[in-house]
């Protein structure tokens, strides 16, 4: 009993340690990079009223919508500890399964097709591209598949955004993204370890894919914020800017189903969902009243509202 209580307490308080974990978006170095970029935006836009008031605006950080972000973060940590642990899939387990299946089907390859340096570079880039493309694909499905959209509405109901809004999501959505990550990472790793017989390693910084570290350090936390940072229409055909993701959260009809990408904009470009910025916009975030299935300010509503909406959809489809 004591061990269970200790492990549960450790899981619930885990988010408080995320600023020390380089795998988390809110790692202190990533937040520092975002703050530095926000300061440059403040100067470039010739804003007044003080830098700290601009970055830590009370109307944003203390908004009822932002307070739900914080509550969801802790509530989901508790749910993971109590209920969702058995639903996780190990990327290592997937990698071993893929490696073993290839080995049984084809036997060991004659020799590694590339040298170690080239193999590590190819593995790093392939893992990043597969990770980013799969996030785009799942994100698109969350918008376009009606029953998945019911869960994703929790994220889009945010009326203001802070870096913690990235964690404003329903537990069902978290399970889907966790499963996606394990399957993609495991599959790519298994294939590379089959061809290179375990002699391949991703280039990493602090144990994290080096490309993702660069992305997170260069302003990823501004994607969910009130700081408008555009890369311009040319670069935004390749990289998703913070401004583009803010457009994704806009309530304006012309912005619906745009900019699903996480890092790269090329998936939206190829998929016809790219929206580049051409000048600064004043955006309103959140859901239209007719799209809401929960209160954007209440924890219980955010957790149970999507389930109730899904039940309503099922009953309606059965009664037809």
What are the mean pLDDT values of the chain's consecutive 10-residue runs (320 residues total)? Answer: 66 84 92 94 89 93 97 90 68 91 89 83 94 97 96 98 97 94 95 87 83 89 96 96 97 93 96 94 93 96 96 82
Rounded to two decimals, the pTM is 0.92
Question: Reduced to 3 states, what is the DSSP secondary structure of residue 113?
Answer: coil
pLDDT at 177: 95
Distance CA 305, CA 293 (A): 5
Segments forming the whole domain that contains residue 90: 2-319
Q: In whole angstroms, how far apart are CA 80 and each of 5, 111, 178, 244?
A: 14, 43, 12, 31
Distance CA 51, CA 43 (A): 9
pLDDT at 88: 66
Q: In whole angstroms, how far apart are CA 119 and each of 17, 108, 177, 228?
A: 34, 17, 27, 38
pLDDT at 85: 60
Residues whose CB is less than 8 angstroms from the CB of residue 236 and which lie 6 or more positions away in sequence, other chains included: 230, 244, 265, 274, 276, 277
Residue 209, φ and ψ in degrees, nearest 5: -45, 125
The total number of structural domains in the chain stands at: 1
Distance CA 28, CA 18 (A): 9
Decide: 166 and 70 in contact? Cβ < 8 Å. no
Decide: 168 and 155 in contact? Cβ < 8 Å. yes
**Count of other CB atoms within 10 angstroms of residue 17:** 10
Tokens coding 64: 């009822």
């Amino acid at each position: 009993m004591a061990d269970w209580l200790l492990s549960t307490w450790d899981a619930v308080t885990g988010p408080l340690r995320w600023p020390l974990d380089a795998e988390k978006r809110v790692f202190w170095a990533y937040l520092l990079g975002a703050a530095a970029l926000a300061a440059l935006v403040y100067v470039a836009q010739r804003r007044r009223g003080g830098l700290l008031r601009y970055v830590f605006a009370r109307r944003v950080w203390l908004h009822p919508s932002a307070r739900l972000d914080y509550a969801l973060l802790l509530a989901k940590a508790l749910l993971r500890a109590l209920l969702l642990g058995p639903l996780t899939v190990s990327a290592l387990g997937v990698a071993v399964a893929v490696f073993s299946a290839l080995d049984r089907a084809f036997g060991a390859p004659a020799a590694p097709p590339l040298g170690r340096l080239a193999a590590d570079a190819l593995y790093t880039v392939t893992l990043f591209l597969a990770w980013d493309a799969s996030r785009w694909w799942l994100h698109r499905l969350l918008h376009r598949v009606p029953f998945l959209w019911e869960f994703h509405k929790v994220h889009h109901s945010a009326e203001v955004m802070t870096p913690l809004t990235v964690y404003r999501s329903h537990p069902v959505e978290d399970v889907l993204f966790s499963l996606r990550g394990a399957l993609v990472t495991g599959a790519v790793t298994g294939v590379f370890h089959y061809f290179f017989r375990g002699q391949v390693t991703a280039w990493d910084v602090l144990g994290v894919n080096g490309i993702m570290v660069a992305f997170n350090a260069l302003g990823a936390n501004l994607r969910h914020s009130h700081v408008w940072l555009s890369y311009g229409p040319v670069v935004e055909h390749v990289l998703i800017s913070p401004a583009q993701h803010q457009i994704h959260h806009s309530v304006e009809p012309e912005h619906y189903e745009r900019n699903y990408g996480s890092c790269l904009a090329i998936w939206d470009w190829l998929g016809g969902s790219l929206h580049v910025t051409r000048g600064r916009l004043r955006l309103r975030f959140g859901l239209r009243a007719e799209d809401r299935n929960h209160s954007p300010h209440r924890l219980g509503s955010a957790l149970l509202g999507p389930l109730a909406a899904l039940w309503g959809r099922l009953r309606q489809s059965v009664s037809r």
